[in-house]
Chain A
Amino acid sequence: MIEVRDLEKQYGNVLALRGISLEIPTGTAALVSGPNGAGKSTLLRILAGLTRPTRGRVAIDGTDPFGKGAAARRGRVGFVGQELALYGELTVEENLRFCAQLHGLDAAQTGGEFDPLRDLDLAPVARRRVQTLSQGYRRRASIARALLTRPEVLLLDEPWNGLDAEATRHLARLIAREREQGHTVVVAAHAVAEHAHLFNRVIQLEAGRLAGDGSASAEPE
């Protein structure tokens, strides 16, 4: 369960989030939509523990991402931001290996049924440096990195940017699989209509405020 209470984030004079409160139960696939500057990315970065909120409280399964005990739970949350969070000079394989080492995973725990290289069709480019890959493959590699720890909560910020049709289908299958496994998926995106079927909840933000919150099949309130 993701719990957000009276969340505010200020960057200098700009208030990026203005008193957001919401709950996202475990197993939900939520789409956070809204125009540029609505606060989608900031909300996801706070949930991922990358940006500390100015005010308010966040808890993921009862743990504050910035509080005591947060370190041990960081691997439970996978985040793909607008930046790749990969080393361009390392190969895809080396990036994933380094990420696995940071999370204390060995090769056996990152292969088999949950092999992210296979799931995202990255095997052909596994030994190529990330900076030599196309935008689509880079994005896939970033998603593979986030999936490596088998997170219970997956946060994706504009994941469709730069993806071709095939990669978009891969991502759709992946989101569906995460839902089936009872994991929580929160995706921030501009485009709602083409991907709405993947989600059972749509949260709308506008100028840092909650502008709507409803099921994906119905118009947001």
Chain B
Amino acid sequence: MSPPGPRIAMAVLGKDLLLDLRTRERLGHMAVFAALVVVLLGLTLPTSRAARSDWIPALLWIVFLFTSLLGLSRSFQAETEEGAVAMLIQAPCDRGWVFLGKAAANLIALFGIQLWTALLFGIFLDVDWGPALPAALGVAFLGAAGLSALGSLLSAMSMFVRFRDFLFPILLFPLVLPLLVFASRMTATALEGGAISGLAWSALALYDWIFGCIGYFVFDYVLED
């Protein structure tokens, strides 16, 4: 009898979180990379808050994108070592749930790194998150969800490819562009104290939903040799 899909997703999520916490390799690399870039930005950008405020939202999302790239490109590393992906392929279930479990684990990791990046922006670039925090957190979560869905799918697609480190960003960047544009503009609105339009929220949520659905439905074929 096939186990229920949500149980499969939870098992994959639990396994990935355990691996992330145990090795600390993926999270550690992302956290250090984000810290280094933000420190460099802090040293090179104009010192006055007014002069650099226009750049902050775009820089935040670009730092976040490159940091995420480090983690997402390795999200199937454990599966390729020792052929552990066979365990997932042989599970008697709809493999879309395996994808959702992987994407959820990536979402948690990316959202955590996003909070860390926002904290670094507060410390080194003097960004005042105070009143913008609830809206900025919402944008961060939806942005992380979209990146997780797309990144998990592309990472799985490039899992068996020889030049995967090169291929992954080539595939990711064009597809992530709409998310990057929406998320940075929404973050800018939040930081300016304005109200983010319902249309913008819907667009970001739609992006997440589209790539979540694509991943769910095509993962079965992606996993095959």
Contacts and interface: CB of A to CB of B under 8 A. Distances in A.
Contacts of A48: 86, 90
B211 to A, nearest CB: 23
B92 A74 contact: yes
A76 to B, nearest CB: 8
B48 to A, nearest CB: 47
B92 A104 contact: yes
Interface stretch (A30-38, A88-96, A185-193): A88-96
B22 A50 contact: no
Interface stretch (A78-86, A161-169, A201-209): A78-86
A89 B79 CA distance: 11
B86 A87 contact: no
Interface string B182-198: 00000000000000000
Interface in A169-197: none
B51 interface: no
B88 A102 contact: yes
A49 B224 CA distance: 9
A89 B19 contact: yes
A111 to B, nearest CB: 18
Interface in A39-88: 45, 48-52, 71-75, 77, 79, 81, 83-88
Contacts of A72: 1-2, 92
B86 A99 contact: no
A84 B83 CA distance: 6
Given A50-B225, A52-B224, A84-B83, A104 B2 contact: yes
Nearest to B87: A85
A86 B92 contact: no
Interface residues of A, number: 31
B8 A102 contact: yes
A104 B3 contact: yes
Contacts of A130: 82
A145 B11 contact: no
A175 B59 CA distance: 61
B18 A102 contact: no
Nearest to A74: B92
B23 interface: yes
B90 A79 contact: yes
A75 B1 CA distance: 9
B97 to A, nearest CB: 10
A45 B23 CA distance: 31
Contact of A101 (B2, B3, B19, B85): B3
Given A71-B92, A75-B92, A102-B93, A89 B82 contact: no
A5 interface: no
A99 B94 contact: no
B89 interface: yes
B15 interface: yes
B82 A87 contact: yes
Contact of B23 (A77, A83, A85, A89): A89
B7 A83 contact: no
Interface string B74-100: 000010011111111111111100000
B86 A81 contact: yes
A118 interface: no
Contact of A71 (B7, B78, B94): B94
A127 interface: no
Contacts of B95: 71
A188 to B, nearest CB: 15
Interface of B: 1-4, 7-8, 11, 15, 18-19, 22-23, 78, 81-95, 224-225
Interface of A: 45, 48-52, 71-75, 77, 79, 81, 83-90, 94, 98-99, 101-104, 130, 145
14 contacts: A50-B90, A52-B225, A71-B94, A73-B92, A74-B90, A81-B83, A85-B82, A85-B87, A86-B82, A87-B19, A87-B81, A88-B82, A102-B3, A103-B91
